[in-house]
Chain A
Amino acid sequence: MTENTGRILLSSIGMIIQRVIKGIGGLTDQDVDAIFEGGIPCNWWRTKGKLLQHLVPGKLTDSNLDRHRHAFKAPDPNEGGAPFYQNTPFISTTAGTMNREVANRTNTLTPAWRPALFFATNRWKTDAWLFYCHLFVIGRAATPMEAFSEEVRDMNIYPDFSPFLPEGEITAKLVIPAAQIERADFFPLADARNAWNNGRLPSAAKSRSNRNFVKPESYNNLRDCLM
């Protein structure tokens, strides 16, 4: 509670299953297979080679979440000064966002695929995969809770100014389980370039479904009728 002081704490509005996109570049089909089996782990897990469960409470803190958002490359005092991103327990995803266009006093849409593709292609340098995932959010900050992702794009929950709000970030923790990854779309950079050079939005060259994905309707509280 102490670290949440100053935030607008909303009353619980129940869990929401939020669809997000995680963009990753430089993957082979075998890498995608591995993700469909084992999920998308955080960099901390990948760096250490395993999940150090007893250290998780010390990792999932508000200050680390703030570092993940605003000091990604800065030295991490808790990891011997290594760049923070090497041992971040968080995983950035995007769900898109509506941005305030102050100049015109209106709102503009940043679709989720736009920042996902920008970062996944390493700023338009490599081919990219966009993974369509489902995360659980609860409409309030819950940084220490592994199960719930943080809606850092929501100014009602995270009112502190962030220049990165337009990225529409939803922050997952530790791992995005394979059961929550619906599919992966492949965007060769050459195809994306060809699309926008011809005035079209980029589209996926191929799409792969994850057979380990569990559809939300099979675990939410919708009780279907007997047929």
Chain B
Amino acid sequence: MPLRAMLSEFGLDAEAVEADRDASRGLATAHFHLIGEVEDNRELRIMRILASATEARRAAAHSVLLSDWHTAQQMFDMAGHLYRAAGFPYGLMMFACSRKPLAQVFPTFGIAEERTQLAYLLLARAASGERIVEEMLEPLAGARGSPIGILGLPAGAYVRLALALGAPQEERQTAEFTAVRETLLPFIAAYGSAIAQARESDYWDSLALPFHPADPDTLGVLFCVDDVLRSRFQRSVIGMIESLPLSGIAAGILTNAIAEGLGREPLSFA
């Protein structure tokens, strides 16, 4: 069943989501058109870029709920380009969601001005099948506890996941698989908790909360993990999600969103 058809079960109105998606998609373009007016003012330019990126990210997340992956990919891609233009490696999470090959995209990102942003570069590098070497971790040494992302997970959680994904291939694949699963758990737990809290809110049905049920940060991480699981273990992250403790609605949104993003039906864990 497409995710869109499940929205009423989750207390969400697909038509309202679609109306807001259309507004955000249009406003993303409107803000984008205004960037050119302030080219010579760096601060204003960044503000306009982020206004456009924020609306594009919201339109993309809405489109995921609507099972409209054509628009979702367009909007995630737009957000990725905008964050990159503003100098934020966070854009890699948007490209992960747009299903753009990260191996091609992440070399186009420069050095992270803000050191916690390095976490996204490491994760994308690992998802691209590149090794993570010790020197890459040094700039993050004192910032691993700093919260990043909408869910406020510490940058260290991204580093641990990147290390698990980028670990050298050994014969003991079970241990590697377990390491990925363990390092993914904080992301899944934070997402599940955020869903539970959001559902208690009066604003759940209007999605007027900073946290979105199709949280692009979480989806970006899951797509990164899926890329590695497929190439190294011939498995999907969907099975991994299903094996972790998560409420029905949280699991339903994530597994369907990922399956639809990958363009196929969910796989079993076995």
Query: Which of A's residues lie within 8 Å of B, judged by CB?
Result: 70-74, 99, 101-106, 108-109, 114-115, 118, 123-125, 163-164, 166-167, 192-193, 195-201
A residues in contact with B148, CB < 8 Å: 102-103, 105
Kindly identify, within residues 33 to 54 of chain B, every residue whose CB is under 8 Å from any CB belonging to chain A.
Answer: 33-34, 46-47, 50-51, 54
B50–A193 touching, CB < 8 Å = no
Most buried by B among A99, A109, A196, A201: A196
Interface residues of B in 164-216 (CB under 8 A from A): 198, 201-203, 206, 208-211
Q: How far is the CA of A201 from the CA of B27 in the complex (A)?
A: 6
- Assembly CA distance A72 to B200 (angstroms): 12
Q: Which residue in A104, A109, A115, A198 is a CB contact (below 8 Å) of B117?
A: A104
Q: Which of A70, A108, A118 contacts B47 (CB 8 A)?
A: A108
Besides A74-B202, A109-B50, A201-B34, 13 more A-B contacts (Cβ < 8 Å) are A102-B147, A103-B149, A103-B150, A105-B116, A106-B88, A124-B16, A124-B19, A124-B22, A163-B198, A163-B203, A164-B208, A193-B26, A196-B25
Q: How near does chain A come to B65, taking the closest CB pair, in angstroms? A: 15
B16–A106 touching, CB < 8 Å: no
Q: Are B117 and A124 in contact (CB under 8 A)?
A: no
Name A196's contact: one of B16, B23, B114 (CB within 8 Å).
B23
Give the residues from 211 to 260 in chain B that come closer than 8 angstroms, CB to CB, to chain A. Answer: 211, 217
Contacts of A163 in B (CB 8 A): 198, 201, 203, 209-211
B148 to chain A, nearest CB (A): 6
CB of B20 within 8 A of chain A? yes
Instruction: Assess whether B90 is in contact with A104, with CB atoms less than 8 Å apart.
Output: yes
Contact of B210 among A73, A105, A166 (CB under 8 A): A166
- 27 A-B residue contacts at CB 8 Å? A70-B201, A73-B202, A74-B202, A102-B150, A102-B152, A103-B93, A103-B148, A103-B149, A103-B150, A104-B114, A106-B46, A106-B88, A108-B51, A109-B47, A118-B20, A124-B23, A125-B19, A163-B203, A163-B211, A164-B209, A166-B210, A195-B30, A196-B26, A196-B29, A197-B26, A199-B32, A201-B34
Residues of the B chain whose Cβ atoms lie less than 8 Å from the Cβ of A71? 202
Closest chain B residue to A111, Cβ basis:
B51
Are B50 and A101 within 8 A (Cβ)? yes
Could you tell me if A196 and B30 are in contact, using CB atoms closer than 8 angstroms? yes
**B206 to chain A: closest residue by CB:** A123
Chain B residue nearest to A108 (CB atoms) is B50
B54 near A108: Cβ-Cβ < 8 Å: yes
Interface of B (DSSP majority class)? helix
Please give the residue numbers on chain B whose beta carbons come within 8 Å of chain A beta carbons, in ascending order: 16, 19-20, 22-23, 25-27, 29-34, 46-47, 50-51, 54, 83, 86, 88, 90, 93, 114, 116-117, 147-150, 152, 198, 201-203, 206, 208-211, 217
Residues of B contacting A109 with CB < 8 Å? 47, 50-51
Chain B nearest Cβ from A93, distance in angstroms = 16
B23 to chain A: which residues have CB within 8 Å?
118, 124, 192-193, 196
Pairwise interchain contact B26-A102, C-beta atoms closer than 8 A: no
Q: Which residues of A contact B16 (CB under 8 A)?
A: 123-125
Q: From residue A25, how far is it (CB to closest CB) to chain B in Å? A: 14
Q: How far is the CB of B40 from chain A (nearest CB, A)?
A: 19
Contact: B90 with A199, CB < 8 Å?
no
On chain B, the residues within 8 Å of A193 by CB distance are: 22-23, 26
Bound form: Cα–Cα A69–B169 in Å: 52
With both chains docked as a complex, state the minimum distance between the C-beta of B75 and any C-beta of chain A, in angstroms: 13
Most buried by A among B23, B46, B93, B152: B23
Distance between Cα atoms of A72 and B201 in the complex (Å): 9
CB-CB < 8 A to B206: which residues of A?
A: 123
With a cutoff of 8 Å between Cβ atoms, the chain A residues found around residue B19 in the complex are 123-125
Which residues of chain B are within 8 angstroms of A192 by Cβ–Cβ distance? 23
Q: How far, in whole Å, are A21 and B131 apart by their CA atoms in the complex?
A: 52
B50 to chain A, nearest CB (A): 5
Shortest distance from the beta carbon of B224 to any chain A beta carbon, whole Å = 15
CB distance from A81 to the nearest CB of B (A): 16
Which residues of chain B are within 8 angstroms of A164 by Cβ–Cβ distance? 203, 208-209
Chain A residue numbers with a CB within 8 Å of B203 are: 163-164
In this complex, which of A73, A105, A108 has the most chain B Cβ atoms within 10 angstroms of its Cβ? A105
Say whether A197 contacts B50, CB under 8 Å.
no
B18's nearest neighbour on chain A, judged by CB, is: A124
In the complex, what residues of A have CB within 8 A of residue B31's CB? 201
In chain A, what residue has the closest Cβ to B24?
A196
Quote the shortest CB–CB distance from A13 to chain B (angstroms). 26
Is B50 in contact with A103, judged by CB distance below 8 angstroms?
A: no
* Cα–Cα distance between A180 and B3 once the two chains are bound (Å): 47
